Structure 1
């Protein structure tokens, strides 16, 4: 089995490598290709990756290359984890929206739109290269904004499934609180990427007992603290919203918070410099503890599980993925991309049935889906008016004056990445 990772020079990659090494029986990789245009980073990450494989006795071969076509040729699956513009672009995404009183964040709001505009054309180009060299390869997208990127891939006819680590993070945290094995915890997870709610927590599978009320009653403080939301919000909802819902439920407070502290991008950039220095140590043969603070917790387990299922090597019977709606949420278009529990096999991901949603959640999902449709049109076709319309549709913007000002700032800060600007 051959697997290619585009964006293989990311500081995330050793987390992925560690999972590939530990879970080699689930996903028996014979050749792993790390693809990245940044040769210096790729050398450091590739060296550590080989040492991790060697220490854990993995027989697979690790290859590094900056040539996308060569890297993805004959791959059974291609995992995308790239960041167009690097941390410098993320720093901008997280700062200029604040000038207009809006949340600055790299995956939602105005910053998330900027990332989508930079990313979608690049990802589609890579996907076309995959299709030319190996049309049967699966594309697993971990590149944010996952929902929009996955929708672009699917609408272009690619074999793609989107992946996020939010759900597996909740699963592992809830299992720890409940003192059960993670595999015993099944989440009723529903929404869009980075706009999801856990409406049930079941033991043993989809038909198991819903213990969410018990979980919140006994561990509500811990859950709320992890979300960085007041417990009152969680108790009144009676569900567990993703961390990203704080940008919607506490917008103004979050804006003030973001204005008074260093950006997450600055923190990550400093962390990355330290990690890359560590990766250059020829005696390091395991992922460093610092990597846990970088983000992407349990990403490797989720990626291995998904790839194993898509490639016919087993995997969990149900997994949370980003895939086409096809009537699962009847208030959305069939071609919308949703994030829900699904059965996954060699034919792709098929969402499990979702009970009728409370309008409190369905309304916001519908609103953001409309924005995502407009965002994708802007990413595919460009133009100031398309950018403006997407911003005006986003519930974190929503006002004419804000959308006008943010449109100008978005284009000014991203001109080098926008072919039409």
Structure 2
């Protein structure tokens, strides 16, 4: 969502665009659950990139309760049975020192080895990769949706991901059409140093009030040193990916994967890239001159 938003901002600047993700709603719900307060009493100021943002400040009726909310969220997770934690628990000292609430995707970067071990175990147990699991769920859903008399929400939706997307999308449309100024976390242009360590004009994911004439982001504090470096690295990855996708520049695609922290070496990056191109040959004609399709 963030990279698509930035592509539109860069190559089609006359189009009004805001990127949307459901993940911030989950972070907000964890805050209201932890503090045991109504949703309407909370202002959650988020900042970062799509799938790589933090809840940076929690205001309850104007009072900053960020540290308290973070501590309670971590404690609640630690007290859950292991089978309900949804993966490995956070490293408490690391997250408390950040004093920001990470989104779920940060686990891939903060707990890389542990997350990989969990995924490999799922493959060994016969569940398959996450992509394979999603394809199976979607096939089942499409079969169910063939029934025009279906009147219940299929259980498979709980396995698919994307929870609250309908709420987020409808509220965004409502706020634009009715000029409501609702606070929504969106991907929008980084202007006037909004996220101070990222390039002007790139897409960032931030809390903003949404109006008919556009979005008005909340001011952001300077990004702390603990998050600044990896955030810049991920933006570098995004921008190289966008350039590669639009231009078909194989070198830029290879550089994008090489700088991503989840890729262990340039050789691994090249293997990944070549496999992606071959497996999606019909959809990536811009890369046809880069490699031979059937050369293994």
Establish whether TM, by shorter chain, passes 0.5. Answer: yes
Contact 1:306 1:315 survives alignment (8 Å): no
Partner of 2:208: 342
- Normalising by the residue count of structure 2, what TM-score does the alignment of the two structures yield? 0.84
Output aligned runs, 1:13-162, within 5 Å.
146-155=1-10, 156-157=12-13, 158-162=15-19
Please say if 1:230 is aligned against 2:95: no
C-alpha distance in 2 between matches for 1:195 and 1:288: 30
Partner of 1:375: 241
C-alpha distance in 2 between matches for 1:228 and 1:199: 22
Q: Give the drift of 1:294.
A: 1.8
C-alpha distance in 1 between matches for 2:41 and 2:156: 29
Query: For the structure 1 residues 378 and 240, does the alpha-carbon distance in structure 2 shift closer, same or farther, using more than 3 Å as the test?
Result: same
Q: Give the drift of 1:197.
A: 1.2
Q: Structure 1 stretch 305-314 or stretch 295-304: which is displaced more? A: 305-314
Partner of 2:125: none
Contact 1:168 1:298 survives alignment (8 Å): yes
Aligned residues, how many? 272
Partner of 2:135: 269
- Normalising by the residue count of structure 1, what TM-score does the alignment of the two structures yield? 0.60
Contact 2:180 2:210 survives alignment (8 Å): no
C-alpha distance in 1 between matches for 2:144 and 2:155: 11
Q: Give the drift of 1:153.
A: 1.2
Contact 1:391 1:398 survives alignment (8 Å): no
Partner of 1:211: 65
Please say if 1:254 is aligned against 2:143: no
Q: Give the drift of 1:365.
A: 1.2
C-alpha distance in 2 between matches for 1:332 and 1:223: 32
C-alpha distance in 2 between matches for 1:333 and 1:257: 35
Aligned alpha-carbon RMSD (Å): 2.1
Q: Give the drift of 1:409.
A: 2.3
C-alpha distance in 2 between matches for 1:413 and 1:270: 19
C-alpha distance in 2 between matches for 1:407 and 1:288: 36
C-alpha distance in 2 between matches for 1:174 and 1:228: 19
Partner of 2:186: 321
The DSSP-based 3-state class of the residue aligned with 2:180 is coil
Partner of 2:74: 220
Q: Give the drift of 1:220.
A: 1.8
Output aligned runs, 1:241-320, within 5 Å.
241-261=102-122, 262-314=128-180, 316=182, 318-320=183-185
Query: For the structure 1 residues 307 and 257, does the alpha-carbon distance in structure 2 shift closer, same or farther, using more than 3 Å as the test?
Result: same
The DSSP-based 3-state class of the residue aligned with 2:57 is strand
Contact 1:328 1:353 survives alignment (8 Å): yes
Q: Give the drift of 1:231.
A: 4.6
Contact 2:181 2:209 survives alignment (8 Å): no
Q: Give the drift of 1:400.
A: 2.5
C-alpha distance in 2 between matches for 1:227 and 1:242: 13
Partner of 2:39: 182
Contact 1:234 1:240 survives alignment (8 Å): yes
Partner of 1:360: 226
Contact 1:319 1:344 survives alignment (8 Å): yes
Partner of 2:253: 387
